[in-house]
Structure 1
Amino acid sequence: MGNSGGIGDHGLNQAWPVHRYDTIDSTNTEARRRAQTGSFENCWILADEQTAGRGRLQRNWASPKGNIFTTALFREPGGIQVAGRIPFAAALAVSDTALEYAPGADVRLKWPNDVRVNKAKLSGILIETGQDAQGLWVVAGMGMNVAQVPPEAGQSATCLIDLAGGQVLDHIDVFGSLTRHFMTRLSQARESFGPVRTDWLKRAEGLGSMVRVSPGGVAIEGIFEDMAPDGGLILRLPDGSRQTIRAGDVHLIGEV
């Protein structure tokens, strides 16, 4: 498993302690193990390598060294209402981080929380929640391609070094930026979803375009018109009616 200590050698001033592992099955799995003890501190789990990384719908997440694999584990005093905003806040935090290192990149957010540049995936985010006697806990997993594109990505992907013009980047330094941006976006989400929604829509991929969504395995096509106050995807259907989608994969029409 490797060590589980802090990363003070990089001088990070963390609001929450960081538990770093050389190799782990999955940072989200480790966070869930900690959460299910019923007694845990708000913290970050960070791994140099994962052997069983996972994304949405239990998809495998390739985890080569030099990239970021991290999970924030924390109590959410705002309950499930605030927890529903965190996927969008996390996507904004990742995009904020990318723009810090590659300010010229056209970083876009594909609903609900994929971070992409020119339709190539930069990051995967997996938010999980649970409840115990002390309230709601959140596991916010974020994988970010920093040093390389995983050869087995299975889709078009990019990495931060390429977006930043090949400059040398230390993934631990990038992790420090990510945690800072995440805490800012989490604070924003806890106050109100309105500003999160506004900022998300500014970076939305496919807004105003035809998209295909498959909630429950049934494909629906329409124009991505807006995002609802609760984060739902609002489609304008061919018959002129509107439908709000709250779960499903989004594909831009014409994208392979």
Structure 2
Amino acid sequence: MLDPDKITAGLKTKRIGRNILVYDSTSSTNDAAAEYAKNKANDGLAIFAEQQTAGRGRAGNKWYSSRSDSILCSIVLTENKLPAELLSLLCAVAIAEAIGKPARIKWPNDIMLNGRKVAGILLESKSNGICIVGIGINCRQKTDSFPDELQSIATSIDIESRSVTDRISLARRLLASIDHWLEVAAQTSEKVIDQWRNLSIQLGHRVRLIYDGREFAGNCIGIDPEKGLILQLDTGGIRMFDAAHSSIVKQG
């Protein structure tokens, strides 16, 4: 069971996780966070849950998680001044670093271990600078914990490390990492971009994606902190694609 006192023990953050709530069960940590976000004093609040009954990912996809097998977390930002693209990038970097090697980033919102998805990000922007950062990290699942259709594409830290994940330690590293990269991004986006480039599995490779219902393909040559993934298109020219309107078809 996640314990907020144990998570905060030794946590030296300036903004994120100074206050922590842990639910035994909730429909969605993002929904719970949205209620707390109505009070600006809750900036940096981290909400965890042992179980979600209606967890979701991007585009309304269901997020599968069995009780106490994951890190299910939402962070309240009531005064976000960063572009959505940059916020998404720094969260991806922070999560990958919290998990540790060999975690890599697959734009727009996935963290991968050995070619399979281990974590995801769901950003939900509200009005007046309010943003909810939803994070799901697979920790203790076994292969048969996932639905049949996900067993070949999803994984957990335990599966890949062949050990038992200390979720409290991981939660603490996660909050510290997000706090650090938020502070960095407030000063400069360049360091975030540099680390994203170091951790990206797509940079320098051919990418196919759907953008507003149309398919595009090309070589990934970079990322823009405000406009998204940069592709050298197969059809010629360079184009940028923002995360909110894009979904990856496959790498190839």
Please tell me the TM-score bracket, short chain as reference: 0.7 to 0.9
Q: SS at the partner of 2:69?
A: coil
- The TM-score normalised by the length of structure 2 is 0.87
Q: SS at the partner of 1:168?
A: coil
C-alpha separation in 1, matches of 2:35 and 2:134: 14
Gaps of 5+ in 1: none
Per-residue CA deviations over 1:187-238 (Å, capped at 9, x if unaligned) read 1122121110111011111222221110111111111121124251111112
Q: Which amino acid aligns with 1:52?
A: A
Q: SS at the partner of 1:36?
A: coil
**Number of the residue aligned with 1:22:** 24
Q: Percent identity?
A: 26
Per-residue CA deviations over 1:46-71 (Å, capped at 9, x if unaligned) read 00111010111111101212210001
**Number of the residue aligned with 1:53:** 55
2:230–2:239 CA contact under 8 A, matched in 1: yes
Matching residue within 228, 248, 251 for 2:249:
251
C-alpha separation in 1, matches of 2:178 and 2:40: 24
**Number of the residue aligned with 2:204:** 208
Query: Is residue 2:139 matched to residue 1:141?
Result: no
Q: SS at the partner of 1:249?
A: strand
C-alpha separation in 2, matches of 1:63 and 1:194: 35
Q: SS at the partner of 2:208?
A: strand
1:6–1:17 CA contact under 8 A, matched in 2: no
Q: SS at the partner of 1:94?
A: helix
Per-residue CA deviations over 1:120-162 (Å, capped at 9, x if unaligned) read 001010011222xxx4112111000011154127430111122
Higher relative contact order (CA 8 A, sep 6+): 2
Distance 1:174 1:153, change over 3 A: farther
Query: Is residue 2:197 matched to residue 1:194?
Result: no
Matching residue within 67, 70, 74 for 1:71:
74
Q: How many residues align?
A: 240
**Number of the residue aligned with 1:163:** 160
Distance 1:22 1:223, change over 3 A: same
Matching residue within 237, 242, 249 for 2:238:
242
Per-residue CA deviations over 1:16-35 (Å, capped at 9, x if unaligned) read 21100111111001001222
**Number of the residue aligned with 1:90:** 91
Query: Is residue 2:172 matched to residue 1:176?
Result: yes
Q: SS at the partner of 2:200?
A: coil
C-alpha separation in 2, matches of 1:203 and 1:159: 18
1:25–1:50 CA contact under 8 A, matched in 2: yes
**Number of the residue aligned with 1:36:** 38
Per-residue CA deviations over 1:66-123 (Å, capped at 9, x if unaligned) read 210001102235x2x4444111111111100111xxx4x2x22111221012320010
2:46–2:73 CA contact under 8 A, matched in 1: yes
Gaps of 5+ in 2: none
Distance 1:153 1:39, change over 3 A: farther
C-alpha separation in 2, matches of 1:82 and 1:190: 11
1:189–1:196 CA contact under 8 A, matched in 2: yes
C-alpha separation in 2, matches of 1:120 and 1:40: 34
